[in-house]
Amino acid sequence: MNLKSVTIRLKKRKGNDMKNRNHTIMILLASLIVYSLFITGCAPEDPPDQEVDFHTFANVDEVVVTHMDLELTLNFAEQVINGRASLHLNNITGTEQVVLDTRDLTIERITLNGGDEETTFTLGDFVDYLGQPLTIDITHATDKVNVYYQTSPDAAALQWLEPEQTAGGRHPFLFTQSQAILARTWMPCQDTPGSRITYNARVEVPEGLMAVMSAENRKEKSPGGVYEFSMPQTIPTYLLALSVGDFEFRHLSDRIGVFAEPEIIEEAAWEFAETDDMMEVAEEMYGAYRWGRYDIMVLPPSFPFGGMENARLTFVTPTIIAGDRSLLSLIAHELAHSWAGNLVTMATWNDFWINEGFTSYMTNRIMEAVYGREYTEMLWHLDYQDLIATIEEMGEDNPDTRLHLDLRGRDPDDGMTSIAYIKGAFFLKMLENNLGRERFDDFLVHYFNTFAFQTMTSEHFLSFFRETVFIDPIREVQADDEGEVDLEKRLKLDEWVYGTGLPDNIPKVHSDEFARVEDQIEAWENGVAAADLDVEDWTTHHWLHFLMNLPEVLSHEQMTELDATFGFTETANSEILNAWLLHAIEHRYEEAYLALEEFLLSQGRRKFLMPLYSKLAETTEGMELAQEIYREARPMYHPISYNSIDEVLNR
Residues belonging to the active site: 334, 421
Three-state SS at 206: coil
Are 444 and 435 in contact by the 8 Å Cβ rule? The answer is: no
Q: Is the dihedral of CA 69, 75, 81, 84 positive or negative?
A: negative
CB atoms within 10 A of CB 355: 26
Residues composing the chain: 651
**Paired sense of beta strands 117-118 and 344-346, if any:** unpaired
Are 127 and 16 in contact by the 8 Å Cβ rule? The answer is: yes
Q: What is the rounded distance in angstroms from the CA atom of residue 458 to the CA atom of residue 462?
A: 6
Q: What is the rounded distance in angstroms from the CA atom of residue 42 to the CA atom of residue 37?
A: 6
CB atoms within 10 A of CB 93: 10
Are 237 and 58 in contact by the 8 Å Cβ rule? The answer is: no
Residue 133 forms beta bridges with which residues? Answer: 101
277 phi and psi angles, rounded to 5 deg: -60, -40
Task: Give 213: exposed, middle or buried? Use CB within 10 Å, 0-12, 13-18, 19+.
Answer: buried
What are the CA-CA distances from residue 304 to residues 54, 597, 604, 609 (Å)? 25, 18, 5, 9
Are 583 and 547 in contact by the 8 Å Cβ rule? The answer is: yes
Are 590 and 622 in contact by the 8 Å Cβ rule? The answer is: no
Are 67 and 57 in contact by the 8 Å Cβ rule? The answer is: no
Q: What is the rounded distance in angstroms from the CA atom of residue 453 to the CA atom of residue 449?
A: 9
Three-state SS at 113: coil
DSSP states along 217-270:
--SS--TTSEEEEEEEEEE-GGG--EEEES-EEEESSSSEEEEE-TTTHHHHHH
Q: What is the rounded distance in angstroms from the CA atom of residue 467 to the CA atom of residue 75?
A: 53
Largest interatomic CA distance in the chain = 82
Query: For residue 85, is the peptide bond before it cis, meaning its omega torsion is within 30 degrees of 0?
Result: no
9 phi and psi angles, rounded to 5 deg: -70, 140
312: left (phi over 0), alpha (psi -120 to 50) or beta: left
DSSP 421: I
